[in-house]
Structure 1
Amino acid sequence: MTTRVAANGIEIAYDSFGAPTGRPLLLIMGLGAQLIQWDEGFCRLLAEQGHHVVRFDNRDAGLSTHIHDAGVPQPGAPAPYSLTDMAADTAAFMDAIGWPSAHVVGASMGGMIAQTLAIEHPERVLTLTSIMSTPGPDVAPPTPEAMTALMTPPPADRAGVLDQSVVTWSTIGSPGYELDEEAIRERAGLAYDRCFDPAGTARQFAAIRASGDRTQALAGVRASTLVIHGEADPLIPAAGGRATAEAVPGARLVTYPGMGHDLPKALWPDIVAEITKLTAS
């Protein structure tokens, strides 16, 4: 069941898995993605390993507050907000659910938010897991095909959005694993029905671009850190993961051949085991 709480002047929607007595594990999703992009099966696997798992919608995604008044960011204009603001949302959300600190896992833009949280609110981060992410928007540029998939405006109709989602994940997903078109369509339909706001995604993208490079600041992170990346990721190439691991003292880098910019179901047990090894230590 999705719940909404007030945090940092907005409302944040979330749900949870596992016993409240488990190790607190916070999942932060990426650009334009809603909490349902963290598959329930993946969340349950984490819960089975002793975690109390919480996934939430960032601002401008899903059922959390959308900053509609900011409109669509225009070239050259200041971004309506930054990753610093999104990290502050996360810290305030943790206050709202009664978590002084947590094991923090972020994917893609969520990894950027998690990195920013570890830099700016270090007391909140027990461990940091950065998945398919990067220290800065220009560290590991996407392939032209991936950039086209990212920047293509979505159709306005539900059927068109589902069709485009298949094309997008065919482009940026994992070439080493079978594409589950049915699952992609189902999740895209759920996301469309929960909330369809391309302008919100554009504002999040502006926040990424406005937030610069974290490489130097990551040198100050003291939380034990795991970096996970696909070796076949065309959207944030593996150089982004390597740069993150090199920037954070003592970080451990785990890469997977054939993995793109998603979490293939076949890799869930291994990824969950890596995260659990970190949080249990």
Structure 2
Amino acid sequence: MVARVRAGEVQLGWRQWGEGDVTVVFIHGNLASKDWIELAAPLFPSGVRVIGIDWRGCGESDRPPPAADFSNYSMRQHALDMLAALDELQIPFCHLATHSTGGIIAARMLLKQPERFGRVFALDPVTPLGMAFNAEQTDLFRKMMRSRELTRAVMATAAASLFVPESLAPNTVPRFREGLAEIQAFYERILEQTFGVSEGVWLGTPFNLNLERESGDLERRMAEIWHPHLVLWGEKDGWIAPVDLKTMAAAMPDCRLITVPGIGHSMNLESPALYAGYFGAWFGGLPGSEVAI
């Protein structure tokens, strides 16, 4: 049975792993879902309850038609959805784990209700600076909506270490490395989810990340985000600019940036055990979820 939670005018899919007094909420990235931590979750430390919530338009959540300006799929709207879901799930205080675009959604959550959150574990995050997409890059998302083959090729670059490097070249079919077994089967399943994502996410995310970049609203407020951050960047990540991460780490009062060798944009898919190790080191042994740090 699908678990869903009311968040304003939409219902969002959600899932829980583990039990405990420490609650961590996972905010996934673009074209993804809460399931992207499924292989890592059994390796998380005991005493930690982890809750993953699908964005509107993704996973098992509702898919409202996008507004002409994609305002109902903005980073602000995703953040408000998550806050409303936390209210409905009766989670007054928690920590956050984010991946990719989940990072900028979390930044809006932290600024909106700062006392509600503790630590943040950010994997290859889109920073509060947003991202710039030119017309060609935006058009790529349109083409991906119509082509499974293209989507497969582009999404492979988001988990680069799973594939034979030469097979990630343009106009080449991605080939998995040998011996991936469970990870390969899991990747195929979450890739299939991508094809069901709303147009509001496919086109709205690059549109709204451009707006975030152009406005500079969050960039100017980075110093206000006092929550302890552990930020991981895979050295094979071609999606997130390391200069943005360094700018964020310098601007935030408590932000540690680590470069991880041999990993691409999605450690949670590429090396679930390694992801769980960092996760456990950051969240294991913390005081109960009602206690701010």
Q: Normalised by the size of structure 1, how large is the TM-score?
A: 0.81
Q: Unpaired runs of 5+ in structure 2?
A: 165-175, 288-292
CA-based RMSD:
3.0
Shift in Å at residue 210 of structure 1? 2.3
**Mapping for residues 223-242 of structure 1, pairs under 5 Å:** 223-242=227-246
1:92-134, CA deviations, whole angstroms, 9 ceiling, x for partnerless residues? 1111101001101111110111111111210221112222112
Shift in Å at residue 249 of structure 1? 0.4
1:35-76, CA deviations, whole angstroms, 9 ceiling, x for partnerless residues? 22x231212222x34210101111121221222152xx5xxx
Contact 1:228/1:255 (CA < 8 Å) preserved in 2? yes
**Mapping for residues 113-192 of structure 1, pairs under 5 Å:** 113-133=105-125, 134-138=127-131, 147=137, 151=141, 153-154=143-144, 156=146, 161=148, 163-175=149-161, 179=176, 180=180, 181-192=184-195
Percent identical pairs in the alignment equals: 22
- What corresponds to 1:216 in structure 2? 220
1:97 aligned partner, one-letter code = L
2:278 aligned partner, one-letter code = I
| Alignment match of 1:55 (pick from 52, 55, 59) | 52
- What corresponds to 1:3 in structure 2? 3
Distance across 2 between alignment mates of 1:80 and 1:206: 12
- What corresponds to 2:259 in structure 1? 255
- Cα 1:78–1:107 change in 2 (3 A) is closer
- Cα 1:171–1:256 change in 2 (3 A) is same
Are 2:279 and 1:272 equivalent residues in the alignment? yes
Contact 1:26/1:55 (CA < 8 Å) preserved in 2? yes
* DSSP 3-state at the match of 1:54: strand
1:173-208, CA deviations, whole angstroms, 9 ceiling, x for partnerless residues? 23487745544223223554xx34344321233232
1:172 aligned partner, one-letter code = A
Distance across 2 between alignment mates of 1:79 and 1:229: 29
- What corresponds to 2:22 in structure 1? 23
Higher relative contact order (Cα pairs below 8 Å, separated by 6+ residues): 2
How many residue pairs align between the two structures? 264
* DSSP 3-state at the match of 2:87: helix
Distance across 2 between alignment mates of 1:150 and 1:108: 18
